[in-house]
Amino acid sequence: MVDPVTEFEALLATPGAEPAHGMFNDAVVVRDRWVARFPRTDLAGARRRAQALELIARLDLPFAVPEIIENRLDLPLGRAHVIVTYLPGAPSDTASDEAVLEVLDALASTQLDDELLALLDEPLHHAGGPNTIETITELVFPLLTADERGQASEVLQRFADLPAVTGFVHGDLAPVNLRWHNGKISGIIDWDFACAGDPALDVAAFANYGWPLVRRVRPELYERARTHAAMFPLTGAVAALRQGADPAKFLAWFRRRCAVREHPPAS
């Protein structure tokens, strides 16, 4: 008997479709039309995040958010998927202060109601949530040298000393998730890490365009942002390990910082 065609294979047969693979989802992308995302694990979480995305898309934000076209997360894991709109726009190697401020100000002014709060994940859920420090110590420390563990401990202490602050946070404003048009951020994708957390976490992501930009746009959050950025390789390694993936690129990232004994390097 011939095996039935899976939903992934069927969507991949769409003219112009391309496969894509992230840490948490597999995807089928048809540029300028739609993206189908297939969660690899945590189906219940994927269903909740889809509900959150529907609410986020209704917020009065100055940039586009993917809208759900079809939700088939009722299917079993492996077949379950959600199809969202494709956001056009080109990546950018540079960013103006004005473009970054527009995004950060919009997120900062967003009031979270009880309905959305109930659907958002806790900060750093992918790395252990409130147990992030313990999870890093358990999973990542055995892979580090004694000196690297000492430096990691200093980073974790900085993180533990952060004040408890809550705001609307995207959670992964890396350049790959930003869509640009005419010098402005026209769209933001991948809201799976959205949470009620420290806005300095989103500020830290913009250090991809240089720490001087971060200091200019959010001087009051600069030091907190540096602490969040110091955590990125460690939380990334934990997320990979918990997914059964190879943490090598995150460990290499952390070791480059250890080599210069600066977390994160200012340049």
pLDDT digits (tens, 9 = 90+) for 1-51: 435 679 999 999 999 999 999 889 999 999 999 999 999 989 999 999 999
Q: Where exactly does CATH 3.90.1200.10 map onto the chain?
A: 97-260
Distances (CA, A) of 114 to 27, 55, 67, 122, 132: 31, 11, 21, 14, 25
CATH number of 7-85: 3.30.200.20
Q: Which residues of 107-132 are buried (b: 16+ CB within 10 A; e: fewer)?
A: beebebeeebeebbbebbbbbbeeeb
pLDDT at 4: 66
What single letter denotes the amino acid at residue 202? D
Helix H or strand E segment including 51: helix 43-56
Q: What is the pLDDT of residue 3?
A: 52
Q: Looking up tokens 């994940």, which residue turns up?
A: 121
Backbone φ and ψ of 181, nearest 5°: -155, 125
Please check the confidence at residue 108 and state whether its pLDDT lies above 70.
yes
Reply yes or no on whether the pLDDT at 199 is more than 80: yes
- CA 267, CA 196: separation in Å to the nearest integer? 29
pLDDT in tens, 202-253: 999 999 999 999 999 999 999 999 999 999 999 999 999 999 999 999 999 9
pLDDT tens digits, residue range 142-187? 999 999 999 999 999 999 999 999 999 999 999 999 999 999 999 9
Q: How confident is the model at residue 90 (pLDDT cuts 50, 70, 90)?
A: confident
* Domain 97-260 annotated CATH 3.90.1200.10: yes
For CATH 3.30.200.20, list the domain ranges present in the chain.
7-85
Residue 257 above 80 pLDDT? yes
Q: Pick the range with the lowest mean pLDDT from 6-10, 22-26, 67-71, 96-100.
A: 22-26
Could you give the C-alpha distances from 142 to 88, 97, 136, in angstroms and in order? Answer: 42, 40, 10
Q: Given this model, what pLDDT does residue 22 score?
A: 86
